[in-house]
Amino acid sequence: MNEILIRVLALVCGYCFGLFQTAYLYGKMNHIDIRDYGSGNSGTTNALRVLGKKAGVITYAGDMLKACFAGTTMRLLCMYVFGIEEQSFIFMIIIYAGLGAALGHNYPFYMGFKGGKGIAVASGVILAIFDWKFIVLGLLIFGITLLITRYVSLGSILLMIGFFLEILIFGLLEYNLTSEQMIKWFAIPVKGHFPEILIVTFIYCAMAVIRHRANIVRLINGNENKFGKKKD
């Protein structure tokens, strides 16, 4: 299959998976439209605040898994259907699938393009990459930020900025490390597609940060809601 078409397929596949709106569907099961309550966002944090801890956990799990499934589906298609062995291309396609899932989550056509912000989706992409470095660093960045500041939004923003920087740094390490064992542990397969991987990752992360623009304003003004504190 043409490599351009595989990129398009990854975006479409990701978008279709992303259309599964966990918070919205959970809200409908409880006879509400989650977008009419709280922040109006169809995502984990708003589900947690409006519908409780169980809703928050289910929403996070659902939104994370749909992105993980999108990335894993494209990985398997590349390996076993399209016969692609180049690891850097497969890595890039997973990022494309993640971008598609974020687009489907953030801009679902059947909900008037009003969805979530894509942070739980990013967790799913990290899981689909299946690299311990991203999982550990993601947990540390988000967890420490939340522990110190209690701002979910700030943790989410730093998580996405950190993800881009991790791709950049670990990608550069593949070009600069000489030991195969060191490359295996501290680098990622990007050779041959590094600029494109960076561009797609930047678009993905920038979109998530932009979706938090109202939160950024509130953080600057000092009136952002803290985790565990009910919204007035």
Residue with tokens 């991987």: 197
Judge whether 27 lies within some domain: yes
Q: Positive or negative, the Cα torsion across 143, 144, 145, 150?
A: positive
Judge whether 230 lies within some domain: no
Domain count, the chain: 1
Question: Which structural domain, as residue segments, surrounds residue 185?
Answer: 16-221
Judge whether 4 lies within some domain: no
Q: What is the pLDDT of residues 7-22, one digit of tens each?
A: 999 999 999 999 999 9
Judge whether 79 lies within some domain: yes
Judge whether 6 lies within some domain: no
Q: What was the pLDDT predicted at 182?
A: 81
pTM of the model: 0.92
Nearest to 93 by CA among 215, 176, 192: 192
User: Whole-angstrom Cα distance, residue 161 to residue 157?
Assistant: 6
Judge whether 228 lies within some domain: no
Judge whether 152 lies within some domain: yes
Q: What was the pLDDT predicted at 225?
A: 87
User: Whole-angstrom Cα distance, residue 117 to residue 97?
Assistant: 16
Q: What is the pLDDT of residues 66-98, one digit of tens each?
A: 999 999 999 999 999 999 999 999 999 999 999
Q: Give 182-195 as a DSSP string.
A: HHHHH----TTTHH
Instruction: Extract the tokens encoding 156.
Output: 């989410």
Judge whether 35 lies within some domain: yes
